[in-house]
Amino acid sequence: MRSAKDFFRPLAVGAPTPPTEIPARPSRAIHFFDPSNPKMAAKVPDMVGSVDVLLGNLEDAVKADNKVAAREGLVEIGQNTEGLGGPEAQTQLWTRINALDSPWALDDLTTLIPAIGHTLDVVMVPKVQGAEDIHYVDRLLAQLEAKAGLDRPILVHAILETARGVANIEEICGASPRMQGLSLGPADLAADRRMKTTRVGGGHPGYLVRQDPASSSEADINASRSVFQQDLWHYTIARMVDACAMHGIYPYYGPFGDIADVVACEDQFRNAFLLGCVGTWSLHPKQIAIAKKVFSPSVEDVAHARRVVAAMSALGGDGTGAVMLDGKMEDDASLKQCLVMVELAERLAATDPELAELYAAAEEG
Ligand SMILES: CCC(=O)SCCNC(=O)CCNC(=O)[C@H](O)C(C)(C)COP(=O)(O)OP(=O)(O)OC[C@H]1O[C@@H](n2cnc3c(N)ncnc32)[C@H](O)[C@@H]1OP(=O)(O)O
Ligand SMILES: O=CC(=O)O
Ligand SMILES: [Mg+2]
């Protein structure tokens, strides 16, 4: 066990000091691309500025024969793409490395950190099982940062996609001051848990509850009854949200594989947003707009939140007391909920001029 005093000391001589807080940078869409795919790579420069995070994926969905090309393609992009990555950039640069037990993970890190460590913001680690995986990456990153002379620590993001990872969720989140957040990996997680869905994220029509029958007669039991589909991922996302909030890091939904079904995609993303997630993955360019829409508070919610803040301020501004607004009671707790909404809106508006305009118009109206 490490002493609390050592926690914020670099793990290698000359490495940057670990962060004491993880900045809340906009990351509504983490857009995945395969850097070995020339068509996808060619689209990256034009996406800079319009998506919060571009992630060069090296793991699943990249063919084994293309692993080296993907790594090299990402180096090329990280070195030569204007405005991409680094603490001031509007569009962050992330990567998803290969699994730690694969033949590629070590070379991923030892290639990327010296070459593009200055622009790489976050390393996403797949199939994290426990704190030991984070400790390994933490020390290796410190050594590589020291060697490369970096002055800013690269953050770490874990994908929750094994039963053991879910069971160890709190220790994973607290394993390093570098921990930036968690994503749900519903496809690998379903396989690892032996769930019986073959979909990549999203709901399942068989996971439902059914309205009671009008009577126990055979006719009523077999009559048509309303069914309500349930969310397969509710339990895991709720655990992620609590573990991340406890550790001051950020939870994300993951992939939604039915690219054509933009409606269900939006619903699934919104469930995650309402529960507390700050963003999601985008696998196809058309999912970026969905993610940006869902993970930005609506104009109506922001307008309402501002009214509650104003009403509570008029009461004295210290949060005590209660007011009635539109027939509803508001007090310190609902004020705090509203501040979450207003602060998120302000943070997003600072980098998204379209949103800034919408929120400003709502304030004037
Ligand atoms: C399941 C667990 C996981 O690990 S999920 C994370 C790993 N998977 C991924 O990263 C998948 C990334 N996405 C993709 O590979 C592609 O989008 C898939 C889903 C295969 C669809 O590709 P495709 O059939 O080419 O789509 P399309 O014809 O509609 O594409 C139109 C143009 O857009 C491009 N495109 C496609 N996806 C991306 C992307 N993610 N980033 C940037 N560009 C993308 C296509 O190349 C195509 O370009 P063009 O118009 O032909 O020049
Ligand atoms: O990596 C993502 C997943 O769903 O598996
Ligand atoms: Mg996976």
* Ligand 1 atom nearest to 57, measured from its CA: 10
- Give the ligand with the smallest distance to the CA of 57: 1
What pLDDT, on the 0 to 100 scale, is given for residue 365?
64
Q: Which of 72, 68, 54 is nearest to 115 (CA)?
A: 72
Q: Which of 183, 226, 181, 228 is nearest to 203 (CA)?
A: 228
Lookup: tokens for 244: 């991340």
Q: How far is ligand 1, taken at its centre, from the CA of residue 100, in Å?
A: 25
Per-residue pLDDT reduced to its tens digit, 136-175: 999 999 999 999 999 999 999 999 999 999 999 999 999 9
Fill in the DSSP letter of residue 279: B
DSSP calls for 78-127:
HHH-TTBSSTT-SBEEEEEPPPTTSSSHHHHHHHHHHHHTTTEEEEEESS
CB-CB contact of 91 with 47 (8 Å): yes
CA-CA distance, 135 to 175, in Å (whole number)? Answer: 7
What pLDDT, on the 0 to 100 scale, is given for residue 99?
98
CB-CB contact of 320 with 333 (8 Å): no
How many Cβ atoms sit within 10 Å of the Cβ of residue 108?
A: 21
CB-CB contact of 123 with 94 (8 Å): yes
Q: How far is ligand 3, taken at its centre, from the CA of residue 321, in Å?
A: 48
55 lines ligand 2 (CB under 6 A): no
**Ligand 1 pocket: which residues have CB below 6 Å?**
32-34, 39-40, 43, 57, 60-61, 187, 200, 255, 257, 259, 283-285
Please report, as a single letter, which amino acid is at residue 91.
Answer: T
Please report, as a single letter, which amino acid is at residue 72.
Answer: E
Atom 5 of ligand 1, nearest CA residue: 255
Fill in the DSSP letter of residue 261: -
- What is the torsional sign of CA 247, 250, 253, 254? negative
Per-residue pLDDT reduced to its tens digit, 106-134: 999 999 999 999 999 999 999 999 999 99
188 lines ligand 2 (CB under 6 A): yes
What pLDDT, on the 0 to 100 scale, is given for residue 4?
87
Atom 38 of ligand 1, nearest CA residue: 284
Best mutation site among 30, 36, 40 for ligand 1 pocket (most ligand atoms within 8 Å of CB):
40
ipTM of the complex: 0.99
What pLDDT, on the 0 to 100 scale, is given for residue 317?
79
Phi/psi for 250 (5° steps) reads -120, 135
Residues contributing to the annotated binding site for substrate: 96, 161
- Give the ligand with the smallest distance to the CA of 61: 1
| SS3 at position 161 | coil
Q: Which parts of the chain have pLDDT scores under 70?
A: 365
| SS3 at position 277 | coil
Q: Is the pTM for the entire model greater than 0.95?
A: yes
What pLDDT, on the 0 to 100 scale, is given for residue 316?
85
What pLDDT, on the 0 to 100 scale, is given for residue 170?
98
Q: Which of 93, 33, 22 is nearest to 59 (CA)?
A: 33
